[in-house]
Amino acid sequence: MRGPPGSPDDASDARDRPQGTNLTDSPAVSVVIPAFSRADTIERAIRSVTTQTFHDYEIIVVDDGSTDRTVEIVKALHVKELKLIEHGANKGAAAARNTGVAIARGRWIAFLDSDDFWAPDKLAKQIAALETAGPAVRACVTGFRMINCAVPRVVYLEFTPIEFRKEILFGCSVSPGSTLLVERAVFQSVGSFDENMARLEDWDWLLRFTRSFDLVAIREPLATIDGRLLSKSDTPDFDRNRLAALEVIRHRHMRRVSSLADRQRLRSSLFIERAAIASRRGRKLRAMTLVAIALIMYPFRNAMFFTMLGRNLRRLFR
């Protein structure tokens, strides 16, 4: 898999750059927005970047073969810092993000899904957090709000870098598509998003990331995740792609997890993901069986997990 241009030495030159300034032709942050037929939300996403209190950025919108007015809307915005890259056909979210990373010039890469949006001080607070973090910390995520979904909620992220190494084994619960800010040079070590994975490519990438680097979290919800798309993912293709992705994660990461407890965490999480798929397909008995296996395998989950599990089980048996 290809990595982005630039080098760790190039990135380290910018380490002492004052917040919100640009001492070279390269911006501090490259905001990558993949988009596929998001005419109704793309402007909102872009405006949430242009209204940031942190101003040293470029915006890279990668249109992934949209069939609506997405490209037309982006071009009509006339945002000076914006680049529009068009894929001739739909290649998937991983490929769109990789395209954005490959042409990015900033030391930092910030991802924003085209149906989500940011609080005005998101980038400023993340840059400040990273400037005071240790040298092993190369990325930052934030809390987020979920709207337009069955259960709107606010997710506050509270974990240390060491705790995140265990947390990520439970699944990709930090919404990296819209909260992640990561040093561009990291991609040379971690690699790109796996373009063969139609789902869960962000979980796979973060599992690779945590082998070598640390991540910090800002508790405050600084991104808003629009859950309307979740209702559109209840399809056989979606579930087939997700099952295939779970197999990739199992083969790629299980043998690299160091301790038995961590392997049980990951193995249990894979069973929970399969239970969710069975539940969406109305296979109640299989869903319950997979949940039971997962909890026998690793029962030490947090209160939020059991709250969500209870809610989903009630919905399943209505």
Tell me if 60 is assigned to some domain: yes
Final residue of a domain: which of 231, 247, 267? 231
Among left, alpha and beta (phi > 0; psi -120 to 50; other), residue 191 is left
In a domain, 3, yes or no: no
177, 189: one domain: yes
- Residue 15 main-chain phi, psi, to 5 deg: -60, -35
Residues 100 and 244 grouped into a single domain: no
pLDDT, residue 279, reads 86
Q: Which of 194, 210, 231 is the last residue of a domain?
A: 231
Local confidence pLDDT in tens for the 318 residues of the chain: 344 434 333 333 333 333 343 445 899 999 999 999 999 999 999 999 999 999 999 999 999 999 999 999 999 999 999 999 999 999 999 999 999 999 999 999 999 999 999 999 999 999 999 999 989 999 999 999 999 988 899 999 999 988 999 999 999 989 999 999 999 999 999 999 999 999 999 999 999 999 999 999 999 999 999 988 655 555 678 889 999 999 999 999 998 888 899 999 999 999 999 998 998 888 999 999 999 999 999 888 766 566 666 666 666 556
Shared-domain flag, residues 197 and 241: no
First to last CA, the chain: 45
Q: What is the pLDDT of residue 20?
A: 40
Predicted pLDDT at 15:
32
Q: For the chain, where are the alpha helices, taking DSSP H only?
A: 8-13, 42-50, 70-77, 93-103, 122-131, 161-167, 176-179, 186-190, 201-209, 236-253, 260-280, 284-297, 303-316
Using the 3D structure, point to which of 231, 263, 280 is the last residue of a domain. 231
- Domain containing residue 39: 8-231
Look at residue 1 and tell me if it is in a domain: no
- Same domain for 245 and 223, yes or no, is no
The single-letter DSSP state of residue 59 is: E
Residue 91 lies in a domain: yes
How many CB atoms are closer than 10 A to CB 110?
Answer: 27
Residues 218 and 239 in one domain: no
Give the pLDDT confidence score for residue 232 in this predicted structure: 53
Residues 32 and 127 in one domain: yes
pLDDT tens-digit series, residues 90-105? 999 999 999 999 999 9
pLDDT of residue 10: 39
286 within domain boundaries: yes
Tell whether 108 and 21 lie within a shared domain: yes
Report whether 194 contacts 169 (CB < 8 A): no
Residue 23, pLDDT score: 40
The count of domains in the chain is 2
Identify whether residues 102 and 181 lie together within a single domain. Answer: yes
Q: Measured between alpha carbons, how far is 241 from 3 in angstroms, rounded to an integer?
A: 25
Q: Are residues 245 and 222 in the same domain?
A: no
Q: Are residues 222 and 242 in the same domain?
A: no
Three-state secondary-structure class, residue 160:
coil
- Residue 2: inside a domain: no
Distance CA 283, CA 270 (A): 17
CATH of the domain at 83: 3.90.550.10
Q: Are residues 74 and 100 in the same domain?
A: yes
Q: Is residue 215 part of a domain?
A: yes
Q: Is the dihedral of CA 118, 121, 123, 125 positive or negative?
A: negative
Beta bridge partners of 32: 60, 111
Do residues 224 and 276 share a domain?
no
